[in-house]
Structure 1
Amino acid sequence: MNKISIFRPVLVLMCVLQVFNSIAQPAKPAKATEPKIVNIVNFIRDIEPREADVTKDVLYETVVNQVKLMKQYHLGGTFLLQYDALIDPRYQELLKTLPKNEFEIGAWWELPQPLIEKAGIKWRGKYAWDWHSDVGFSVGYTPAEREKIIDVYFADFKKIFGYYPKSVASWVIDAHSLNYMYDKYKIVASANCKDQVGTDGFTLWGGYWNQAYYPSRFNAYMPAQHAEKQLPVPVFRMLGSDPIRQYADGRSVTTLEPVYSHAGGNAQWIDWFLQTFANDTALGFNYTQAGQENSFTWSGMKKGLEMQFPIIAKLKEQGKVRVETMAKSGEWFKKTYKVTPATTFTVSKDLGESDKKTIWYNSRFYRLNLLWENGTMRIADIHLFNETVPDKYLTDVTTINQSFFYTLPVVDGFQWGKRGAPAGMRLMMKDGDKEVPVQGGNPVFTNVDKNTAHVSWPVGSGSYEIDIKENSLIITAKNIAAANWYLDLNVAEAAKTAFSAVSDNTAKYEFDGHAYKLATTSGTIEKGENGGLYRIKPKGQGIVLKLADQ
């Protein structure tokens, strides 16, 4: 028998064994093509004057149980200390036991009485912790006072833990404070509240919708357009907002917070949100924050966290999400991005029987939301960003119990609409003498390059191909009559908007004393018909909107 005849059956046997081994061995978990980052952030207060039953012991035991549950599922995270909790020996002892490679201790930037008085400033609050903007937050103090407060906190933090905090977060933080914290103490990450209108006295509306951004040196809420004008500290958006309900069906809070029985405390919603977050297409990276402030107590959050953490742990095990501290995310962001990146959060399948689908796109120039419902599409939101527009509290203080942070609205489906009739820029067509919404199938979301997201929306025998770029939106009709479709911006009757007029093929706006415009490089902007503010008609087969105020 020659060598070839001897080796042939051996080779066949080796191939069979190789196939068998590949079947028998468990497949390695498929990693997401884009990072999906989860920060578990629990912020700690030692004072809760609003509820007599929420004692110091109740607050402390809440944190003990949070730590226990995180360890049970091998999930690290970040604990942020309000000053009253920072100086409580119980929290110091508890948090010092946490493994530094898994957990982070940082600062929660609400300002209670002991911190203010140690900084030599008179306390104006009703309680030792007062949650109103003019007392309990940096925007209620002069820039010089803010620096004193920061110095006291950071000095005491270092005395206790041996280092300065790397992460500082709050519902709202002004630009002067963030600049000072970075310039003097080199913080690496911050976070602010999700977008909301009026909740607890805080309005943040029109900003970088999710993920994270580099803020302007003049405005902590406004993404910068240029590296030389930005503060190199990424600001993450908190609380895990529902990308459909939080902004589309009224004023209810719909987030990953475990205390909300219809959202972060609801098994069906939790599973939908986390699976969508982990599995749907994202440009750049996606991000969400889990966890809860201890003021809500363990009894309030236990059920929700016990449903969330096993799912997060499973997704981590499968390689679909990263669970890490805020500081680690901040360091990764700074290493990865020189300026604010383009990102998306997409939903290809909504909760339950709903047919809604959406994409939120953010860049350093603008944010955009496209929403599909009942086979129709509308642009539900466009806000432009301008790094030269200062926040209201850069040098001034708020003297009321509210604070306001805005960007530049072009389309505001929430504030310019009304319940049951949201505003928006709808894709319309002429059907004989009638004007009707374009009807189509299910949109398909893909990524083109690091700055461009693509949506293909089938309509009849054709489609609308939508390219969302860093500073423009391109809508191209394929096999659809060019003169038959257009965009109409409609708002509620008597709605107060920023729109002023149409002239020279531009839609002109003014908001908070700043003039800006929406223009096209392809297409025509005309005065509105049938109650619309204005209409955008295609040139040939397409519309191209310029989406930058810089």
Structure 2
Amino acid sequence: KSVGSWFIDAHTLKYMHDKYGIIASCNCKDQIGTDGYTMWGGYWNQAYYPSKQNAYMPAQNAKNQIPVPIFRMLGSDPIHQYDQGLGTSRQRVISLEPVYPKSGGDEKWCQWYFDEFVNGASMGYAYTQVGQENSFTWKRMGEAYEMQMPMIARMKAEGKVVVKTLGEAGQWFKDHYEVTPPTSVTALNDISNKNLKTVWFNSRFYRANLLWEKGTLRFRDIHVFDEKVASDYLTKKGTTSRCNYYALPFLDGFRWSTAEFIAGLRFQTPSGEKIVGGDPVVDDSTKNELLVRWPTQKPKGEFVIRFTEQSTSITFNGEAKDGWLLELTSQKDVKTPFVKIDNKKVSCVYENAPYSVSVSKGNFKKATGADLQITPEGGSIKLNFSKR
């Protein structure tokens, strides 16, 4: 009682639920331009209940959701997939798929991926999908698939993972969650020599991604979800070989970047210096909350970043409590969705959909040389993502 595809629209998904009683579905991982499909800004991994108006958009309320959890396929590299192909119209692929020799086809990469999957903070549950679309044929996928299976069997025997069919996973999800839960994907060890670290947070209201690079920290991505935003194809048919599904960007570190200039919401001092720190500690021991602690050398202290279902709060404990800020910059040709920046709210429009992000602690402001700055209040910033 499960159905999967690159993408299944809301009409079809609801029909299959109502007529055939399906209990689970799956769609492709986030991507831009691959095989004509752009699916960008959504619930990054694990599973979500989709809006009745848009199968890519997580619903915020049970009454407006299709009661079929959708699991994201293909096991994206949580660190490196996002930035593949910066400045181009298509992403390259780094995933668990067996046909890719530098990721799912490489035993060392697979071991790294499974280690991060098992050990990284994930909140309610961690999840990945294994396998390959059959059109690639066994000749291309067979050797690596047979390499992955014993690795998974070993983790299962050690009690590290549970192996389920898609239908079984869907039933488990429905038994545990009435609405989409908050989840995370954490990778604090990098298989490359760049020593990058990342945390993805997802809820039914928004997603956010942190990236540590060379001792610095930035938000790489923040997208907001709104069940009222209908799919482009809800009331009119698609007539081309391409399709476009999207969430609502507050920060898009891929589309707003080039290979030379990387967009981001960066931690820095009021004078523009980068804040440099050590290794983060990520804690998911409190239900429905993800806590990230980042010790810093200059200014000396510690940032505490708390992700909850509806908001993200950032507090600095140490020297000069307000001696820091967040600055959002994008490459110069980007038209950001910001239409009005007030002290406590940024009003946005993307693809004709209005939305906003507010602060209950801190202030927004437009700054020279930046799209946006967020300054702390009493050492803290609190971003609210649930009010539209």
Structure 1 and Structure 2 fold alike (TM over 0.5): yes
| 334-343 vs 348-357, which moves further | 348-357
**2:295 matches 1:458:** yes
Gaps of at least 5 residues in structure 2 are 86-90
**2:367 matches 1:367:** no
**2:332 matches 1:493:** yes
**2:188 matches 1:354:** no
Aligned to 2:88: none
State the 1:310 CA deviation: 1.4
Q: Secondary structure in 1 aligned to 2:236? A: coil
Q: Which amino acid aligns with 2:371?
A: L
CA distance in 2 between counterparts of 1:528 and 1:548 reads 26
Deviations 1:217-275 (A, max 9, x none): 11101101111111110000010001111102423211111111111111221111111
**2:117 matches 1:277:** yes
Q: Which amino acid aligns with 1:280?
A: G
State the 1:216 CA deviation: 0.7
Q: Alignment partner for residue 45 of structure 2, among 210, 215, 227?
A: 210
Q: Secondary structure in 2 aligned to 1:459? A: strand
Q: How does 1:330-341 map to 2 (within 5 A)?
A: 330-341=170-181
**2:259 matches 1:419:** yes
Aligned to 1:442: 279
**2:67 matches 1:232:** yes
More strand, by proportion: 2
CA distance in 2 between counterparts of 1:283 and 1:528 reads 36
Deviations 1:45-86 (A, max 9, x none): xxxxxxxxxxxxxxxxxxxxxxxxxxxxxxxxxxxxxxxxxx
Aligned to 2:22: 187
Aligned to 1:23: none
Whether the 8 Å contact between 1:365 and 1:549 is mirrored in structure 2 is no
CA distance in 1 between counterparts of 2:343 and 2:193 reads 45
CA distance in 2 between counterparts of 1:547 and 1:428 reads 23
State the 1:549 CA deviation: 4.0
Whether the 8 Å contact between 1:488 and 1:534 is mirrored in structure 2 is yes
Runs of 4+ in 1 over 6 A off after TM superposition: none
CA distance in 2 between counterparts of 1:347 and 1:174 reads 31
Whether the 8 Å contact between 1:342 and 1:450 is mirrored in structure 2 is no
CA distance in 1 between counterparts of 2:379 and 2:322 reads 8
CA distance in 2 between counterparts of 1:500 and 1:417 reads 20
Q: Which amino acid aligns with 1:207?
A: G
Q: Which amino acid aligns with 2:42?
A: G
Aligned residues: 381
Using a 3 Å threshold, how does the CA distance of structure 1 residues 260 and 549 change in structure 2: closer, same or farther? Answer: farther
CA distance in 2 between counterparts of 1:322 and 1:330 reads 14
Aligned to 1:547: 385
Using a 3 Å threshold, how does the CA distance of structure 1 residues 549 and 181 change in structure 2: closer, same or farther? Answer: farther
Q: Alignment partner for residue 532 of structure 1, among 370, 376, 382?
A: 370
Q: Which amino acid aligns with 2:182?
A: A
Deviations 1:442-470 (A, max 9, x none): 00000142211000000124100110011
Q: Secondary structure in 1 aligned to 2:147? A: helix
Gaps of at least 5 residues in structure 1 are 1-165
State the 1:420 CA deviation: 4.4
State the 1:308 CA deviation: 1.2
Q: How does 1:62-81 map to 2 (within 5 A)?
A: none
Using a 3 Å threshold, how does the CA distance of structure 1 residues 448 and 547 change in structure 2: closer, same or farther? Answer: farther
Whether the 8 Å contact between 2:10 and 2:53 is mirrored in structure 1 is yes
Cα RMSD (Å) of the superposition?
A: 1.2
Using a 3 Å threshold, how does the CA distance of structure 1 residues 435 and 215 change in structure 2: closer, same or farther? Answer: same
Whether the 8 Å contact between 1:234 and 1:334 is mirrored in structure 2 is yes
Aligned-pair identity (%): 47
State the 1:284 CA deviation: 0.8
CA distance in 2 between counterparts of 1:502 and 1:335 reads 42
CA distance in 2 between counterparts of 1:293 and 1:448 reads 36
Using a 3 Å threshold, how does the CA distance of structure 1 residues 537 and 504 change in structure 2: closer, same or farther? Answer: closer
Q: Alignment partner for residue 238 of structure 2, among 398, 405, 408?
A: 398
Aligned to 1:288: 128
Q: Which amino acid aligns with 2:274?
A: P
State the 1:480 CA deviation: 3.0
Q: Secondary structure in 2 aligned to 1:177? A: helix
CA distance in 2 between counterparts of 1:448 and 1:291 reads 31
Whether the 8 Å contact between 2:77 and 2:94 is mirrored in structure 1 is yes
Q: Alignment partner for residue 92 of structure 2, among 238, 252, 258?
A: 252
Q: Which amino acid aligns with 1:437?
A: K
Whether the 8 Å contact between 1:279 and 1:320 is mirrored in structure 2 is no
CA distance in 1 between counterparts of 2:285 and 2:150 reads 34
Whether the 8 Å contact between 1:386 and 1:549 is mirrored in structure 2 is no
Whether the 8 Å contact between 1:527 and 1:535 is mirrored in structure 2 is yes
Q: Which amino acid aligns with 1:526?
A: K
Q: Secondary structure in 1 aligned to 2:230? A: coil
**2:313 matches 1:474:** yes
Q: Alignment partner for residue 324 of structure 1, among 143, 164, 171?
A: 164
State the 1:306 CA deviation: 2.3
CA distance in 2 between counterparts of 1:504 and 1:455 reads 26
Q: Secondary structure in 1 aligned to 2:31? A: coil
Whether the 8 Å contact between 1:209 and 1:237 is mirrored in structure 2 is yes
Q: Which amino acid aligns with 2:155?
A: L
State the 1:354 CA deviation: 2.6
Whether the 8 Å contact between 1:196 and 1:205 is mirrored in structure 2 is yes
State the 1:363 CA deviation: 0.4
State the 1:355 CA deviation: 1.4
Whether the 8 Å contact between 2:343 and 2:365 is mirrored in structure 1 is no
Aligned to 1:177: 12
State the 1:505 CA deviation: 2.8
Whether the 8 Å contact between 1:366 and 1:547 is mirrored in structure 2 is yes
Q: Which amino acid aligns with 1:270?
A: C
Aligned to 1:38: none
Whether the 8 Å contact between 2:57 and 2:225 is mirrored in structure 1 is yes
State the 1:278 CA deviation: 1.2
Q: Secondary structure in 1 aligned to 2:30? A: coil
Rg bigger for which structure?
Answer: 1
Deviations 1:280-301 (A, max 9, x none): 2211111111101222122211
CA distance in 1 between counterparts of 2:191 and 2:278 reads 18
Whether the 8 Å contact between 1:412 and 1:423 is mirrored in structure 2 is yes
CA distance in 2 between counterparts of 1:261 and 1:243 reads 17
Q: Secondary structure in 2 aligned to 1:323? A: coil
CA distance in 1 between counterparts of 2:95 and 2:171 reads 26
